[in-house]
Amino acid sequence: MDKIIMKNMAFYGYHGVFPEEKKLGQKFFITAILYLDLKEAGINDDLNSSVNYGEIYEIIKFIVEKENFKLLEALSEKICITIFNNFNKIHRIQLEVCKPEAPVSGIFDYFAVSVDRKRSDYEE
**pLDDT score recorded for residue 38:** 98
**pLDDT score recorded for residue 54:** 98
| pLDDT (mean) for 76-94 | 98
Beta bridge partners of 92: 35, 118
23, 66, 78, 99: which is the annotated catalytic residue? 99
Beta bridge partners of 111: 99
How many Å apart are CA 22 and CA 13, to the nearest integer? Answer: 8
| pLDDT (mean) for 88-117 | 96
**pLDDT score recorded for residue 65:** 98
Our answer to whether residue 99 is catalytic in this structure is: yes
Domains of the chain: residue spans and CATH: 3-122 (3.30.1130.10)
| pLDDT (mean) for 98-124 | 94
Cα–Cα distance list, 72 to 17, 28, 40, 46, 49 (Å):
10, 10, 35, 35, 32
